[in-house]
Structure 1
Amino acid sequence: MQTKHKVVLLTILPLLLAMLALGGLLVHRSQSLTEQQSRLIEETLLATKQAELQHYTQLAMTAIGPLYASGRNDAEAKEQAKAILRGISYGEDGYFFVYDLAGNNLVHPRKPGLVGKNLWNLTDPHGRHVIRSLLTAARSGSGFQRYDWEKPSSHQMTEKLGYVVLLERWGWVLGTGVYIDDIERATAQLRSRASANVHDTLWGIAAVAAAAVLLVFAGGVVLNVSEHRVADAKLKALAQRLVNSQEQERARVSRELHDGISQLLVSVKFQFELAQHKLEAGEPALAEVEKGLAGLGEALSEVRRISHDLRPSVLDMLGLSAALTQLAAEFGQRTGIHVAFANTLDDACLEDRQAVALFRIAQEAFTNVERHAQAGRVTLELSRVQYGVRMAVVDDGRGFDVENVDRSQTRGIGLRNIRERVEHLGGLCQLTSQPGHTVLEVTLPVYGV
């Protein structure tokens, strides 16, 4: 094989292999990131819809609350409650339904023909027993159930997220639901856009590769093997052009990746590019590589933190006390702030929504301490009080003016979120602060405590 052919071959093959490897890596990374984003979007939208359903159900319970709280069990009281529920609706497809514990429908504003019928054995297209599952969810207290149901606005079978509560004295299961086909559409659109971006990027890489190959081939053809010096000079020029084309391609792909990833990953990419430039210049680059690896670890920790914040599994499995213990330990480890947790509460006295609210409030309080307090010690207290439960977060930070924070129109949403959670559950929230001593105290009513 002639020298010029060897030069062309040895130049083109590494370039093509590099392009193929880069394209494969881009596809893999994009698919992985798209799946993570899809799961995060789905979990976030489901959590939002669950909170929405609980809010709607609470409104319905408030509407019929005087009748149920009166202690009446007569038919007239129940008929009045049914009439109230039939008259309540929200949105285009929102309504409330009622079943007794035997599976008989008592209220269904959108399908009055179902009233009085026993739907115990009703199944959806996937074979799921709809009414049985709802009754089971109501008895267990979990409340949420997914199933397929005919959407009133489209008359199509659509997946639905239902939420039910048990009115034990009347033997009723009251519920409502929202259709979640929009979640599937949102994730499908995300995947479609990601696929289109990857497709366009791959075509761009292919075009650059083709141009580079043609450039290399054209340069190899004009080499004069008979004249060693000329050939050597042209080989050097060719090698330089290849390096330039590769650098240009790396810069273009870098811009494409920048548009689709978070700031953490951008920072990591910059660290590795700096290491690459140092290596090309013959300089040591171990420090930059270590910073890049640390950034990757931070990105992975951030993904885990987001997943943990959505719904910590330990809260469901072991209860509020264990979840707060873990939260305090992680906060202390991450920030270096000493955290003391004083707990005298029995988790059994709390409802799920109260446990979740207290956990979220503690999260928000710790976040505020980390960002603003400049504290060295934080105390988390959880205890019983008369007719309720008390949680307090105390820090020895620099303090702030509570009145000015409350009057400010530009303040953050953290304190407002805490107050709204507490007010929604009928509790009290008190905040006092001075240099060296800031106290956030929350009290929630708990019957039987």
Structure 2
Amino acid sequence: MRTVALSAAFMLVVFLLVTWAVSYQMVSHSRQDRKQVQAVYVASKEKELRHYVELGHATLARIAQGNGDEAALQQQGLAALSRMHFGNDGYFFVYDRFGNVLLNPGSMGIDGVDFCDPADTGSDQARMLINQAHAGGGIVRYNWIKPSSRAEAPKMSYVKTADHWGWIIGAGLYMDDIERELAAFDANAARTLRDTQIRLTAFAIGSVMLISLAGLAWNLRNSRISGEKLRRLARRVVSSQEEERARVARELHDGVVQVLVSSKYLLETAQVHLEQDTEHKPDKGPAQDLPPARRHAPQALLAQGLGRLQEALVEIRRVSHGLHPALLTDLGLAAALRMLVEQLRPQRAVDLRFTERGAIPALSQAQRTALFRVAQEALNNALMHAQAGWVQVTLAGGGQHVALVIEDNGHGFDLNKVRADGKGGIGLRNMRERIESLEGSRFTVHTGSGGTRVEARLRLSPSEPETQAKARRGRRLGHHPPARRPAA
């Protein structure tokens, strides 16, 4: 569950970062688009103003070329410009060469709008218009009263000089419509950004919920699988214990118990002979008059009984060695494997060999036990089921590696079938689990019609050789377990 929570948190952080990145990109693109839209609108307004002013300038030029008094022609030109309106709030304005107002909104019938008069105190707009015209003409931007709304609004005017009379002619357009268009553009961009963020957030929440549900389902499934594995493992442990108990009981019954029963019979027989000899009366003759066979029978029976007891001790040692060989702790894995092979060789008509190669590093108790149990199980399988002519056990070491190989020339088995069998193949699974429970280990099985090869390989960590070297130095200095006392 912790893994699912971490995954969900990670996904949420990723979605937040993605949302921030998308929002940042959208805002950046929106600002760029706004600047482009504003530039297009402004360029359109400038072009429109130039067109109007050029039209008015052409009208004045045409009138100036007419016949008549100059003053009358000028009045005719001003009258023509006063009749030329464009849009709801567009009009022309004219100054003479001295900066006096010749045409203004009031003379054009537009009420409620003052005009830029240079004579007025603080009329900076008029001076900007006149100076721009004397500089060659161009665009001037300022705020002014809009006729239709009677409110101040940003305005853009274009001015130029009329060379034939030296007048300054201009026209202006208000920019508040551009501001409204840009405000609508900003509102649309903000709405698009908000909708995108809402969609991303909903997608993130949905994804996190799906991941959580999937993780919950996965955890439940894993819990069921783990529970089933634990139950199977418990059954296998119980089965292995019962098999081991049955094996020990069988070996005790077929070996030790039979030898002890035979010894008991021989000793009881010797006891009967001794009792009969002690009951022999002097009036029946001395014991020396008994036949030699009768006289030496108790000693022979006692000798046989002692011999059978010795066999029982050997059999008990063999069974004990199978359960946990003392050589494995005292002398190491190689000696224990060699003893195992020596004990099994007389029992089977198979060429059973053991080979030690290289320098075997000192192993931990868990490593030695795991390799020894693998050798026991593999040898038991080879001798019981493989019908092999020879079995080779090889223990090889070098550096930080130890390898145990058990191979035979038997008929092999179907490895996939054994793995798929839930009830069989316990020994193979036990061997694999024993080795794979050790760090840096590998267990492989190769089988076929030509035989079977079981290999267990351990890779020691760099810290283990130092511990092993200290253990070897301790043994050389005399810090070793006491020698086992021989049995009487």
Q: Which TM-score band (shorter chain)? A: 0.3 to 0.5
- Please tell me whether Structure 1 or Structure 2 has the larger radius of gyration of its CA atoms: 2
Q: TM-score, normalised by structure 1?
A: 0.45
